[in-house]
Every structure is written in structure tokens, then in C-alpha cells.
């Protein structure tokens, strides 16, 4: 009887350790240190309204600077009553399929943010180019940071 109780107690403890180990997920630290902050690749939708925002490696999270840019884009889109295409881009690292999906996540993140600022979903189209349209063709940290972007262009 005592051994059966010990076996049950051991099983409960082992199961508890197993469940707690499985339920612990590592929090991915988002580091904005590799997000491009320059302006040499930035074009403009209108005077003072940048057309692109940049992302960290393997990230579709908007930085504070990206949100500030998108706030200006939203104001411009609303006042101009235009439709836009949000292009998602990635750097050269990773497979074509991975980068197409990442570019789409980035473009959708921008689209979702613009919709929270009052832009109608019908005014926004999303497309991903993945790594197919780099602005900088070098294989360097600077080039990669410039290529991890989402670009807002006026729709025809």
C-alpha cells in the first residue's frame, strides 16, 4: 500500500514537472538595435511624409519611429483620399518562401496599423516581395537593415 502511494506521488510530481516545463515558453527579446534609422533610402509620398518603415531581423513589430511615420502616412492618405499599396520586403537571408511570408506579415502589420488610424480596408492593398527587390544589394548589416522594410505607394 505504501509503495503504491509512493508510486502515485512520484507520478504526480513527475507529471507536474513535465507540464510546467512544457508550459514555459521562452520570451523572444525584440532588439531594435538592428532597425535602420537613416533616411538615405527613404522616398516621400508627399513633402515630409516618408514612404517606408523599417523592421528588425525576423520581425514584423513596429518600432516607435515606424508608428510616428505611419501616423503621418495615415493623415496624408486621409486628406488626399488616395488608395495605397503596402509592399512588404525582407533582407536576402533565409529562403524565398520564408521571406515572402515575412514580407507579407510586415505589410499586414502596417495595413492593420493604418486601419486603426481610420484608413478604410478598401483603400489598402498588401503585397509581399520578400527578398526580391532590395534597395541595397550588398551583403552587409547595413544593407540588410535597409532591406527589411515596408513601403507605402500610391495605388494606380
Give 124-139 pLDDT, tens digit per residue.
999 999 999 999 999 9
pTM summary value = 0.79
Give 28-83 pLDDT, tens digit per residue.
444 577 899 988 889 998 888 999 999 999 999 999 999 999 999 999 999 999 99
Average pLDDT of the residues of the chain:
87
Decide if domain 33-154 falls under CATH 3.30.1330.60.
yes
pLDDT at 155 (0 to 100):
93
Query: Which is nearest to 133 in space by CA: 32, 52, 63, 30?
Result: 52
Q: At 84, which helix (H) or strand (E)?
A: strand 84-89
Per-domain boundaries in the chain: 33-154
What is the Cα Rg of the chain in Å? 22
pLDDT exceeds 50 at position 21: no
Show the cell assigned to 22: 512544457
Question: DSSP 3-state assignment of 71?
Answer: helix
Amino acid at each position: 500500500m505504501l509503495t503504491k502511494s509512493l508510486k502515485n506521488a512520484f507520478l504526480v510530481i513527475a507529471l507536474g514537472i513535465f507540464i510546467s516545463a512544457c508550459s514555459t515558453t521562452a520570451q523572444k527579446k525584440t532588439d531594435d538595435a538592428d532597425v535602420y534609422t537613416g533616411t538615405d533610402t527613404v522616398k516621400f509620398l508627399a513633402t515630409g511624409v516618408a514612404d517606408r518603415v523599417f523592421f528588425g531581423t525576423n520581425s514584423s513589430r513596429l518600432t516607435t519611429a515606424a508608428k510616428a511615420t505611419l501616423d503621418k502616412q495615415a493623415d496624408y492618405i486621409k486628406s488626399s483620399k488616395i488608395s495605397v499599396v503596402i509592399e512588404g520586403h525582407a533582407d536576402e537571408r533565409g529562403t524565398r518562401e520564408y521571406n515572402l511570408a515575412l514580407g507579407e506579415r510586415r505589410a499586414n502589420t502596417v495595413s492593420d496599423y493604418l486601419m486603426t488610424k481610420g484608413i478604410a480596408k478598401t483603400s489598402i492593398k498588401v503585397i509581399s516581395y520578400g527578398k526580391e527587390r532590395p534597395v541595397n544589394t550588398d551583403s552587409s548589416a547595413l544593407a540588410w537593415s535597409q532591406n527589411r522594410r515596408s513601403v507605402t505607394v500610391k495605388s494606380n
